[in-house]
Amino acid sequence: MNARTQFRRALGTTFAVHVLSTAVAAWAALELGGALVGAASPHPFVAEGFAHGGPIAPETLATFGNHAFGPLFLALGAMLAAYGLASIPLSLIWLHAMQGETAWRRLPRQLLRAVGAAIVLCVPLTIVAGGLAVALPLLWHFAFEGDVDPRVHDLGCLAALLPALAVAARWSSWADHVRASIAFDLPVFAALKAGWRAGATTEYLVFLLAAALLFGGSVALAGLPLGWLSAQLLALGRTFLRAGWWARAQARVMRLADDLPPAA
């Protein structure tokens, strides 16, 4: 079984995941628009100003600030948190679909393992990546603060962030492979071991970059005629890109994990 087979097998689920996220986003966007319109209705020009770069205009802030912004941000935050929590079971269902079945009976056990693994993985990420992200740029800053050429300072500080980013990318790839292993019913520590062996940091970054490009394209197209349609096509592309990464992660775990049969 290779990644392509798994990707094809989960096409329906991938589409369903996309529809779900789009539906949640559309609901939130409608709520957002409704709240803004509700706040702006007594002052019709405010909404027109909003469409022409008005969000910073004092009237826009005054209009929306009183009633709309607080509850809106709270609702959006709650929605994101809920979707974030739902992402673990959703990803397991998605991975099961790639395996050709959704093992509902095993899902609760796997869900507990996935949550446990995520908590375990948070610790090294926070300590190592967080420590590197703060310490290295600071060291560089103090060493080159007085240099006449500011590029030495600024570009060095940016470059000093790279080790932390590399750690974060490695961690993300590791976390995904761990979840792919857990979907094969591996215990937590075996999954952690299999996920670490799978590696694939570079490939992860390539997928991330492709997703970022698709996002940039959808933002740019959103303002054009037919922007809604083209932006939606690019969003769909991002979901399928993620499906492709999951399929490759699962195939890689199958090849490398000691407790699993070798990939066909």
Residue 176 structure tokens: 């995904």
Asked if 11 is part of the footprint of other proteins (rule: CB under 8 A), the reply reads no
Least separation in angstroms between CB 165 and other proteins: 16
Asked if 242 is part of the footprint of other proteins (rule: CB under 8 A), the reply reads yes
Residue 142 burial by Cβ neighbours in a 10 Å radius (0-12, 13-18, 19+) = exposed
Q: Which position among 1, 16, 37, 210 is part of the footprint of other proteins (CB under 8 A)? A: 37
Q: Which of 211, 197, 196, 218 is nearest to 245 (CA)?
A: 211
Least separation in angstroms between CB 217 and other proteins: 10
In the three-class reduction of DSSP (H, G, I as helix; E, B as strand; rest coil), residue 183 is classed as coil
CA distances from 12 to 56, 75, 91 (A): 43, 30, 14
Q: Give the side-chain half-sphere CA count within 13 A for 161.
A: 5
Pick the closer one to other proteins by CB: 34 or 131: 34
Asked if 6 is part of the footprint of other proteins (rule: CB under 8 A), the reply reads no
Residue 186 structure tokens: 């591996």
Asked if 262 is part of the footprint of other proteins (rule: CB under 8 A), the reply reads no
Pick the closer one to other proteins by CB: 58 or 261: 58
Asked if 55 is part of the footprint of other proteins (rule: CB under 8 A), the reply reads yes
Asked if 21 is part of the footprint of other proteins (rule: CB under 8 A), the reply reads yes
Contacts for 93 with CB less than 8 Å, ≥ 6 apart? 13, 102, 107
Binding mask 129-168 for other proteins (x = CB under 8 A): -----------------x-xxxxxxx--------------
User: CB–CB of 194/253 below 8 Å?
Assistant: yes
Contact range with other proteins by CB under 8 A, out of 17-25, 131-139, 161-169, 253-261: 17-25
Interface with other proteins: number of residues (CB under 8 A): 66
Sign of CA dihedral 206, 207, 210, 216: negative
Asked if 231 is part of the footprint of other proteins (rule: CB under 8 A), the reply reads yes
H helix intervals, the chain:
3-9, 11-40, 44-51, 58-67, 69-99, 107-124, 130-144, 150-159, 162-182, 188-198, 201-222, 227-256
First-last CA distance in the chain = 4
Contact range with other proteins by CB under 8 A, out of 79-87, 119-127, 161-169, 250-258: 79-87
Pick the closer one to other proteins by CB: 241 or 263: 241
Asked if 17 is part of the footprint of other proteins (rule: CB under 8 A), the reply reads yes
User: CB–CB of 14/244 below 8 Å?
Assistant: no
Binding stretches for other proteins (CB under 8 A):
17, 21-22, 24-26, 28-30, 32-33, 36-38, 40-48, 50-53, 55-59, 62-63, 76, 80, 83-84, 86-88, 90-91, 94, 146, 148-154, 211, 215, 218-220, 222-223, 227-228, 231, 235, 238-239, 242
